[in-house]
Amino acid sequence: MSLNTSRARPLIAAILLSTLAPTAALRADDIEPLKVAVIKATTGLCKRGETCHKDRAGSWTPKKAIAILSVSVAEQADIDLYTDIELSTRPEMYQCAGDDSKGCIFRAKYAGPGLFDYGSTSGSTYVGSNITNTTITFPSGYGLMVQAGEPIYVHLDVRNGSLIDLQVDQDAWIYYVDAD
């Protein structure tokens, strides 16, 4: 028996494509609702050349127990800032170390490249922007649990290396589902 390859190719292609195609279309009823909390945080006015540290620079308290699936922090520094940001249920920054990590959610450090002062006391040279996102997402089926009524804090530590005084604001997005 000989195989007519011109007739067999479409049949083989159809069989292969059918194994790759989903068996059922995704429906809205199949999707769990993802919720978002945006924590607005600020150090307040940070004078040029100073380090501005603020524990509890912003906070949010969930009314129900939640499972955090992902956190995103926009690096909004267009000028010469070094920022250390931490999200945790602990009331002060830098308590997430060693073996006791309970309540520690997220930590990131970044530096904005925008101004170089070369030791000058006035003027500036603008060289660009550093607007990107730092995100952590947990594997499917995993999340960080936070109990109802337990505050989540944003802690900030900022070094203002620019030539101007700045109001330093930082937002953090928490993507979560109800844990009940």
**Position 64 in a domain:** yes
Domain with 105, as residue range(s), is: 33-178
pLDDT higher than 50, residue 113: yes
Model confidence pLDDT, tens digit, residues 9-58:
554 545 545 555 555 666 777 777 889 999 999 999 999 889 999 999 99
Which helix (H) or strand (E) element contains residue 15?
helix 5-20
Q: What is the pLDDT of residue 2?
A: 47
What was the pLDDT predicted at 100?
75
pLDDT exceeds 80 at position 6: no
For position 33, what pLDDT does the model report?
80
pLDDT at 160: 86
> In this structure, is residue 16 part of a structural domain?
no
> Does the pLDDT at position 75 exceed 80?
no
Asked whether residue 117 is domain-assigned, the answer is yes
Q: Please check whether residue 7 lies inside any domain of the structure.
A: no
Residue 67, domain member (yes or no): yes
More confident position, 33 or 77:
33
Specify if 9 maps to a domain.
no
The CATH number assigned to the domain holding 157 equals 2.60.120
pLDDT band per the 50, 70, 90 thresholds, residue 109: confident
154 belongs to a structural domain: yes
pLDDT for the residue 10: 52
- pLDDT tens sequence across 124-176: 554 555 556 688 898 888 999 999 999 999 999 998 887 788 888 888 999 99
How far apart are the C-alpha atoms of 151 and 68, rounded to whole Å?
A: 13
* β-bridge partners, 136: 71
Q: What is the pLDDT of residue 157?
A: 92
| H/E segment holding residue 22 | none
Asked whether the predicted pLDDT for residue 102 surpasses 80, the reply is yes
Per-residue HEC secondary structure of 70-129 comes to: EEEEEEEECCCEEEEEEEECCCCCCCCCCCCCCCEEEEEEEECCCECCCCCCCCCCECCC
Distance CA 69, CA 145 (A): 9
Residue range 143-155, pLDDT digits in tens: 999 999 999 999 9
- Number of domains within the chain: 1
Is 23 among the domain residues? Answer: no
